Amino acid sequence: MKAIDAEVLAGYNAGIEKDRLRSGLGLIEFERTKEILGQALPPAPAVIYDVGGGYGEYSFWLAECGYDAYLFDISETHIDMATERSKGCACPLKGIEIADARSIGQPSESADAILLFGPMYHIVEYGERQLCLGECLRLLKPGGLLFTAAITRYATLLWATAEYGQGNSLLDENAFFEMVEHEIKTGHHIKSPESSYRGMGRSYFHLPDELEREIEAAGFVGTDIRGVIGPAWLAPDIDGAWADEARRDSLMRVARLCEKEGSIMGLSTHLLSVSSKKR
């Protein structure tokens, strides 16, 4: 197995993921993802593996909902954070382990559902992503569900455009344009040393139909792709809107309305697929 990008892992070990889902577009991503999970997951108690689950935002929520939740992540910092949080927690996780998403030390057919919310964009080679998906297929019980997150091809360009002129002048850089042109054409997000862009390290970004093909090539069936955020993230001052119940509901309605509209699905920045293992 090939290692993920050293810069990506160093960033996670430095704690950059902490509270990402607690502000800005992360607020919409978190709430909408929980909503989709709530609609599709089997009733609790069921065994859920959160593979590549960071420090356990979704794992702890699932535990609070009555599920037997297990967290696996490659970052030692994330696992330390989750272990500390789980101490004395009213709804502790059933397991917390450092693990690579391509090799999870659990028995075959031991999970009712798996969340795969990071590995598909941090494992940059197709064959390695197939190893990851194959491991999920092994772990799931017949009929078990796989929830897979991906970042869309246009995410970096959309973000830079939305932030343009607000302390962000990336669109004025030829090196940045060359970077995003390459990732839109190939899916490979590779930071340019000549650009002032300081965002995500080496990653792979998907088109919606490409994500579906990859998942089903690994043996899954019935893949249903959703645009998690839709255009709702373009609203100014998401944090302010989120503090108001009526305005928060309006943003959620926008995301729901556009979640399966193929013509603008790439505008969502994040995709979420629901697939199943054959019975």
- Is the backbone peptide bond immediately before 45 cis, with ω within 30 degrees of 0? yes
Mean pLDDT of the chain: 96
**Cα dist. 208→149, 188, 215, 261 in Å?**
11, 15, 11, 11
The pTM of this model reads 0.96
> Has residue 1 got a pLDDT over 90?
no
> Has residue 103 got a pLDDT over 90?
yes
Distance of alpha carbon 7 from alpha carbon 11, whole angstroms: 6
Contact indicator for 202, 190 with CB cutoff of 8 Å? yes
Q: What mean pLDDT do residues 90-107 have? A: 97
pLDDT at 166: 87
Contact indicator for 108, 134 with CB cutoff of 8 Å? no
Q: What mean pLDDT do residues 1-9 have? A: 86
Contact indicator for 208, 271 with CB cutoff of 8 Å? yes
Distance of alpha carbon 278 from alpha carbon 222, whole angstroms: 9
pLDDT at 3: 83
* Fold assignment, 6-152+206-277: Rossmann fold (3.40.50)
Per-residue pLDDT reduced to its tens digit, 136-180: 999 999 999 999 999 999 999 999 999 999 888 999 999 999 999
Distance of alpha carbon 114 from alpha carbon 24, whole angstroms: 26
Which residues of the chain form CATH 3.40.50.150?
6-152+206-277
Q: Over pLDDT 70: what percentage of the chain? A: 100
pLDDT at 83: 97
Per-residue pLDDT reduced to its tens digit, 185-224: 999 999 999 999 999 899 999 999 999 999 999 999 999 9
Distance of alpha carbon 89 from alpha carbon 60, whole angstroms: 9
| Amino acid of residue 238 | I
Distance of alpha carbon 67 from alpha carbon 279, whole angstroms: 22
Terminal-to-terminal C-alpha distance of the chain: 29
Distance of alpha carbon 128 from alpha carbon 199, whole angstroms: 23
